[in-house]
Structure 1
Amino acid sequence: MPERTAELRRSAIPLLASGAADGPVIPLFAHPGSGRSSLSAVSLAVIGTYTPRKCGIATFTADLVEQLGRYHAEIDTQVYALDAGDGGLRYPDHVSLIEQGDPASYAAAARHINEAAPDAVWLQHEFGIFGGPDGEMVRDLIDGVAAPLIVTFHTVLSRPSANQRRIVEHIISRATQIMVMSRHGRDLLVDLYRAPADRVTVIPHGAPDRPFGREASFKAWLGLQDRNVLMTFGLLGPGKGLEHAIEALPAIIARHPQTIYRIVGATHPNLVKDQGEAYREKLIALAQRLGVGDHVQWDNRFLDTPELLDQLEASDIYLTPYPNLQQATSGTLSYAVALGKAVVSTPYVHARELLAEGVGMLVEPNDSAAIAAAVNALLDDRQRLDALRRRAYAEGRKTIWPRFADASAALVHAAAVQPLGEVPLSAALGLSGFNAMCDATGMFQHAIGIVPDRRHGYCLDDNARALILMNHAAAVPPAERLSRSVIFASFVQYAWNPDRNHFRNFMNFDRTWCEDEGSDDSNGRALWALGDTVEHSPFSDMQAWARHWFDETLHTLDDVQSPRAIAFGMLGAAAVLRGTGNHSRAEALLRRGGAFLETLLAASRRPDWAWFEAVLGYDNPRLPQALIEAGTLCDRPDWTRLGLHTLDWIAQRQIAATGLFRPVGSETFGRQHGQMPFDQQPLEAQAAIEACLAAFRSDPSPRWFDHAVSSYRWFLGANDRGVILGDVASGRCRDGVTPRGANANCGAESILAFQLGHVALQHLLAERRTMQRAGEELAEDDHGPAQTLAHP
């Protein structure tokens, strides 16, 4: 039999490739994947079950990988297969395994995918193939993956449980592109699950491309010459409705005694585990009781695709009597239509769409009489049967593998982040976006898009940072610069609450305070802004004002134990020391803070975790930056070394395998010894740049310069979604990178992070140029002209 099968497959080749005697064969379609030299190479990680596992999702995943490889060589795939973990299956070498019931395996897979740095990840979703209730472990897997996510929903429930709905909506929230195989599935995702309509694409299940009308040859292969062959294929279980097809046989055989019904497929493994072969034996007993046992052939195997297609070719009519009318996809139905089979089916979702307009015959579920009537009508009228088969074959041309591959490749290219060219590093930023967020009171906190949202008023955090920006805004005319500085200084001053000896943070739009005492972090940032003003304001009056308020409010950190608040205060104290040359209380804060951070690091450190806490948060590089500056000013080289080491550690954790800056996402907050890629926020990029500037001044290594540049380029599109956050012309900045792209809002924190990150980078560029010039002069004196590094 295998030899005959191979011979039949070989016979198809000249039918597809050669021309007829009167001229060449004109192809019905083009598959531009071959020779598409203009498409960029893309790497794709595919997650799902995979052959040799015996299930429809595994077959689909294998087909997807095979057809992309055949028709779109520019897409390189790596497979991550969900496995039961029993070691019973041997997977191909290019397949990495995820143990479906082991949470640690999902975390390891996410890390492995991120290290491989694919351009996109394509997840096949079905509730039963992932671990946990309703397969909820899929959430942790996709939450840990940084690349753009494509999702195929193989099942879209119209009446999900609360947990199923939560899982689907979470997946949607992470997805860059979504694929379904039916219009009904698309409508459910958009209407019921609130999926963005522009991200949901219908791609019908792919199907083989074989010649039409070869039943006689394949019937002979099976020894079924001159028989009417009905067929059903799939994992056997009560949900297939096979008892109704068997109950229809007496009426069919009474009219057409040469009819045979072939039921092909193994019993579902879960059913075998619970009940053995009781269900199959029940069906066999039913056929015997009805007197049609000799007209039913059982092939108790899960066939590989080539043999399945051969057996389908031997059939005249394909039956899918499924009682579940919500079934969205049937791969074998797509195969049968593409091979030109007459189909009699219940009107489940996929069948309603694929068999519409006379492509097949639909019958009511659980109705054996209707099945018998439909089959007999076709066998009674061979011309009608042939016409139905030809309509099916013509419809199947729309879903053959080349077209499926083209549509799938288009989805991959739409999702994948393409590498960007060079981005400007030294272009001056505009300030119109910053100015639009300010009024006579200060800087608004939030915006909806680019429009300030007055409902959220103001906060000390942002106005302190805005004051720092004015200290460094040399391009702003002096009068305007002073005017702006005074407004932000006034906000800081008014935020001081002498009754509590603390700064307040949040202010309503009507200038009333929302609280009597702000967070430790906001108090630390206020001290930082005051110290920066002492060191960098070009106006002596502003310097004197800042020195007064720094001295007046420094005690707010006396009992504080928040690492970031202390680090912020230390940065302010370092600025005061540099600006004044001598300030005993500022030096005392630096020494206390340095000792505090050193103690934290010693307590939390472990071989794979060189950090001050068991969790990562926001503004992470500020902790090493504070240690570096304290070590320099307090003559503590050990602190400087610790600061450089921990900055290097956090920098390495925030660089993707592709070299892109991947800041700690806000979803990381509170996860012990963990890191999640989203939502990525501008504050972290600014902190990385400024900490690298401090590190470069202590240790002029190229690594600090390179990391600062990568962090700045994150604003300009070199990020996990390829989205441009910072607008050079206006100086605005989007609020971050989400799984779906950019957060469109432009709040104060983001604008200030972009502006201040730019300021720090310009200082770093200038200091690097100075160092290069000094090196060139030395080299010329000693060895002649030196070769300079290219300016990025």
Structure 2
Amino acid sequence: MVPLFPKSDASNRHIAVIGTYTPRKCGIATFTGDLVDQLGRFHPEIAFDVYALTDPAEALDYGDIAGEIMADERADYARTARAINESGVDAVWLQHEYGIFGGDHGDMVCDFVDRLAAPLILTLHTVLADPGEKQRAILTHLLTRASQVMVMSRHSADLLARLYGIGNERLTVIPHGAPDRPFGRQRAFKGYLNLGDRPVLMTFGLLGPGKGIEHAIEALPAIVERHPDVVYRIVGATHPNLLARDGESYREGLQALAERLGVADHIEWANRFVDTPELLDQLEACDIYITPYPGLQQSTSGTLSYAVALGKAVVSTPYLHAKELLADGVGEFVAPGSAQSIAEAVNGLLDAPDRLEAMQRRAYAKGRETIWPRFADAGAALVEKSVAAPRIPAARLFATPGLSGFTTMCDDVGIFQHAIGTVPDRNHGYCVDDNARALMLMNLADGFDARDADAWSRRFAAFVQDAWNPDLKRFRNFMGYDRKWCEDCGSDDSNGRAIWALGHTAVHGCNEDLRWWARGLFDAALEGLADIDSPRALAFAMLGAALRVEGEPDHAGALALLERGGAVLDGLLNAVRRPDWAWFEAVLGYDNPRLSQALIEAGRILNREDWRDSGLTSLAWIAEMQTSATGQFRAVGSDSFYRPHEMLPFDQQPLEAQAAVDAASSAFRVDPARRWFDHATMAYRWFLGDNDRGAVLADVATGRCRDGITPRGANRNCGAESILAFQLAHYGVIALAHYQQPESGGDILESQRIPQKPTAHIR
């Protein structure tokens, strides 16, 4: 279980970046390139792997990047997500715009982010005020997966708060970055472009009807009348999508308009896509930058940020980004679609050179807030805010959990199923699943005197007893808060867990009376298992049978159950497994290691080496599947449950970590290798914060545990299943450490401060 990559720390971050990328000709590609270049320049401690979204129609050389994603190929997203997870990155930074991902409105991005294990940083280049149903669904899904969200305008942040409920703890506004160049070099760059001392107006961008350039051209006659030397430079190629559909008809229409108005000689066309350095040189040569966009919802314009940072006077329609960046006299606003308004604003500035220079200086001062060093600092801070916390110190690993969090989940009936935060939720009542687990905990827990241990044990035993339906030979599962059973027969799983708890109590109950009761109900319940063939229910019952045999080696019913269950599990494994999928089923579900653990126990007790070896092999496979590239435990996510031959990382649940601990303990009994102890402790550390989100789930002081890890961190609820999984995992890893002690010469117990009291093994 050696990690492929060492875990990064604060001085060495490793980030995967997803988006279109240079040399692709689009604004987001330019932004992604700037993001990587500028953070790499000012924060070299951050390393980037770039995965570029590509269009098969474009054959581009992306240089030395980590990979490409064909935007319309669903399999490419799955392949890339797997590669990113295996690379052990600290976070994934995804650039989102609806048009750059494949599928309906770009919905292939949703399945992609579901597969990513590292924290997700989401940059939203567009936040729509009135999204369509599909657009809203996509963004909602992305926001549920994102650890941090970046937007470039306050307006976008307000929309996210109003429409999607995103709070400041996950939302950061970082204005679009811009270059840091000296102020006032127009004359030098005009000379470079052979423009002399002419007043220069400029608009830049991929040409299309949404740019409003026709209105600026319509304003030129009035501007030329007052300033006959003026030149309007229109820099940029026609948008490739428009070019593919309509050719150069839009540009030709603009040129025809200029001819009709008699201003064609006052326009220079730079009909090509220019890279950032050339764009900056072009901007430096202009006096007034014009953005006459008719649509007012554009929340980000990189070239507007560049123009302001270079100290250019800006005449603009009040679209969203412009309203924020050009406020307080930084620029001048004009009415959308109004050539007269543009002409008046431009002439007003050219008529008054002092006023023009004052506006340019205000723009330059404003631009100091967004220059690349400031942008890079903000981006680096966002990375640190997103990545998982540092690993826990070993000294905290084996502290004995308190029990107050456990007891406050209980009343005189038993333990409640669920909680809202740390408050027990009476609405969901009780279940035999949790009360059976609670009984097992009472068989093991330190911290109670004999009288209290007996009282708590009898409370949970009474619940299990009352759950027994002798007419059906099965256990009920769910009971309401009114103490009425909600069913006559519980699920196969709940019946398997009840048998398991009875087998455990038959051997480890706190007194002989309790052990006698457990033996009797175990024997009575065996008959009801005859028609159960659910793999997990069988595995749970087999673990109870293995314990029953420990106390009574010739128990015929328990041996028969192990024989039948072992045959079923071994048959499933042989039928389903393939070279890359050494498992019992085509899907991964919950409590996965229990299947291997049950087969190991059956092989051990029945002297079936083939079953034992199959159990060990399958357990090694699931252990590898649940080990991240950074050497952390990554529990099979609940999103995986119905997806054949896939493992998705969220939501991760405590039950899986406990199962990994206990299965490793069973494996060590038949294969005393250090790797099983290492895997068990890795799984236990998951509770304490050594996980994909650095989320501390377990509170050792109270013994509470949160309900799992979501893409955004810990689920705040502390239900019975989670509390019991943490508590039982603790005693399981302590027991395994004591089993391992002879192999290690005692060094593990001493170096890890493991309690010296031997503890009963949980199986």
Does the alignment reach a TM-score above 0.5? yes
Match for residue 601 of structure 1?
573
**In the alignment, which of 372, 376, 379 is matched to residue 350 of structure 2?**
379
Q: Residues 354-433 of structure 1 correspond to what in structure 2 (within 5 A)?
A: 354-423=325-394, 424-433=396-405
TM superposition shift of 1:344: 0.3
**In the alignment, which of 490, 498, 504 is matched to residue 526 of structure 1?**
498
- Do structure 1's residue 619 and structure 2's residue 591 form an aligned pair? yes
Match for residue 23 of structure 2?
52
Residue type of the alignment partner of 2:177? G
Match for residue 640 of structure 1?
612
Residue type of the alignment partner of 1:426? F
- Do structure 1's residue 218 and structure 2's residue 189 form an aligned pair? yes
- C-alpha distance in 2 between matches for 1:39 and 1:583: 57
1:628-666 C-alpha deviation (Å, 9 max, x unpaired): 000000110100000000000000000000000000011
Match for residue 19 of structure 1?
none
- C-alpha distance in 2 between matches for 1:171 and 1:539: 53
**In the alignment, which of 655, 663, 674 is matched to residue 683 of structure 1?**
655
**In the alignment, which of 239, 242, 252 is matched to residue 210 of structure 2?**
239
**In the alignment, which of 691, 695, 698 is matched to residue 667 of structure 2?**
695
Match for residue 756 of structure 2?
none
TM-score, structure 1 as length reference: 0.93
- Do structure 1's residue 228 and structure 2's residue 235 form an aligned pair? no
TM superposition shift of 1:115: 0.7
SS of 1:82's partner is strand
- C-alpha distance in 2 between matches for 1:474 and 1:405: 52
TM superposition shift of 1:788: 11
Q: State whether residues 119 and 418 of structure 1, in contact with CA within 8 Å, keep that contact through their aligned partners in structure 2.
A: no
Q: State whether residues 344 and 374 of structure 1, in contact with CA within 8 Å, keep that contact through their aligned partners in structure 2.
A: yes
**In the alignment, which of 87, 98, 104 is matched to residue 116 of structure 1?**
87
Q: Residues 472-483 of structure 1 correspond to what in structure 2 (within 5 A)?
A: 472-483=444-455
Assess, with a 3 A threshold, how the Cα gap between structure 1 residues 479 and 389 changes in structure 2: closer, same or farther.
Answer: same
**In the alignment, which of 30, 40, 48 is matched to residue 69 of structure 1?**
40
1:10-43 C-alpha deviation (Å, 9 max, x unpaired): xxxxxxxxxxxxxxxxxxxxxxxxxxxx952211
TM superposition shift of 1:500: 2.7
SS of 1:352's partner is helix
- C-alpha distance in 2 between matches for 1:435 and 1:475: 12
Residue type of the alignment partner of 1:226? D
- C-alpha distance in 1 between matches for 2:744 and 2:196: 86
- C-alpha distance in 2 between matches for 1:773 and 1:317: 79
Deviating above 2 A after TM superposition, structure 1's stretches of 4 or more consecutive aligned residues are 423-426, 498-501, 770-774, 787-792
- C-alpha distance in 2 between matches for 1:45 and 1:685: 27
Match for residue 295 of structure 1?
266
**In the alignment, which of 527, 533, 548 is matched to residue 520 of structure 2?**
548
Match for residue 4 of structure 2?
none
How many residue pairs end up in the alignment?
A: 744
- Do structure 1's residue 654 and structure 2's residue 652 form an aligned pair? no
- C-alpha distance in 1 between matches for 2:734 and 2:439: 18
TM superposition shift of 1:256: 0.8
- C-alpha distance in 2 between matches for 1:441 and 1:762: 30
Higher relative contact order (CA 8 A, sep 6+): 2
TM superposition shift of 1:513: 1.0
SS of 2:197's partner is coil
- C-alpha distance in 1 between matches for 2:749 and 2:645: 42
- C-alpha distance in 2 between matches for 1:667 and 1:707: 23
- Do structure 1's residue 559 and structure 2's residue 531 form an aligned pair? yes
Residue type of the alignment partner of 2:271? N
Q: State whether residues 209 and 400 of structure 1, in contact with CA within 8 Å, keep that contact through their aligned partners in structure 2.
A: yes
SS of 1:93's partner is coil
Q: State whether residues 165 and 193 of structure 1, in contact with CA within 8 Å, keep that contact through their aligned partners in structure 2.
A: no
Q: Is there any run of 5+ residues in structure 2 with no aligned partner, and where?
A: 1-8, 754-763
Match for residue 127 of structure 1?
98
SS of 2:391's partner is coil
Q: State whether residues 453 and 510 of structure 2, in contact with CA within 8 Å, keep that contact through their aligned partners in structure 1.
A: no
Residue type of the alignment partner of 2:33? A
Match for residue 15 of structure 1?
none
- C-alpha distance in 2 between matches for 1:665 and 1:715: 15
TM superposition shift of 1:196: 2.4
SS of 1:491's partner is helix
**In the alignment, which of 157, 162, 166 is matched to residue 128 of structure 2?**
157
Match for residue 18 of structure 1?
none
Residue type of the alignment partner of 2:569? L
Match for residue 166 of structure 1?
137
TM superposition shift of 1:474: 4.3
When structure 1 is superposed on structure 2, of 581-590 and 472-481 the one drifting more is 472-481
- C-alpha distance in 1 between matches for 2:10 and 2:533: 54
- C-alpha distance in 2 between matches for 1:788 and 1:525: 31
**In the alignment, which of 250, 256, 267 is matched to residue 227 of structure 2?**
256
Residue type of the alignment partner of 2:346? V
Q: Percent identity, aligned pairs only? A: 63
- Do structure 1's residue 451 and structure 2's residue 423 form an aligned pair? yes
TM superposition shift of 1:330: 0.3
Q: State whether residues 593 and 619 of structure 2, in contact with CA within 8 Å, keep that contact through their aligned partners in structure 1.
A: yes
Q: Residues 771-790 of structure 1 correspond to what in structure 2 (within 5 A)?
A: 771-773=743-745, 790=751
Match for residue 740 of structure 2?
768
**In the alignment, which of 491, 499, 505 is matched to residue 463 of structure 2?**
491
- C-alpha distance in 2 between matches for 1:686 and 1:577: 23
1:371-415 C-alpha deviation (Å, 9 max, x unpaired): 011111111111111111111111111111111111111101111
**In the alignment, which of 209, 226, 240 is matched to residue 269 of structure 1?**
240
Q: State whether residues 477 and 487 of structure 2, in contact with CA within 8 Å, keep that contact through their aligned partners in structure 1.
A: yes
**In the alignment, which of 424, 433, 440 is matched to residue 412 of structure 2?**
440
Q: State whether residues 574 and 629 of structure 1, in contact with CA within 8 Å, keep that contact through their aligned partners in structure 2.
A: yes
Residue type of the alignment partner of 1:170? H
**In the alignment, which of 708, 711, 718 is matched to residue 736 of structure 1?**
708
SS of 2:375's partner is helix
- Do structure 1's residue 591 and structure 2's residue 568 form an aligned pair? no
- C-alpha distance in 2 between matches for 1:417 and 1:300: 47
Match for residue 757 of structure 2?
none
- C-alpha distance in 2 between matches for 1:457 and 1:69: 54
- C-alpha distance in 2 between matches for 1:371 and 1:742: 53
- Do structure 1's residue 516 and structure 2's residue 488 form an aligned pair? yes
SS of 2:231's partner is strand
**In the alignment, which of 105, 111, 130 is matched to residue 140 of structure 1?**
111
Match for residue 60 of structure 2?
89
SS of 2:150's partner is strand
TM superposition shift of 1:561: 2.1
TM superposition shift of 1:87: 5.5
- C-alpha distance in 1 between matches for 2:390 and 2:482: 46
SS of 2:201's partner is strand
- C-alpha distance in 2 between matches for 1:346 and 1:159: 20
Q: State whether residues 47 and 122 of structure 1, in contact with CA within 8 Å, keep that contact through their aligned partners in structure 2.
A: yes
1:168-224 C-alpha deviation (Å, 9 max, x unpaired): 111111111111110000000011122123211111100000001111111111111
Residue type of the alignment partner of 2:482? D
- C-alpha distance in 2 between matches for 1:205 and 1:39: 25
Residue type of the alignment partner of 2:181? R
**In the alignment, which of 538, 554, 575 is matched to residue 510 of structure 2?**
538
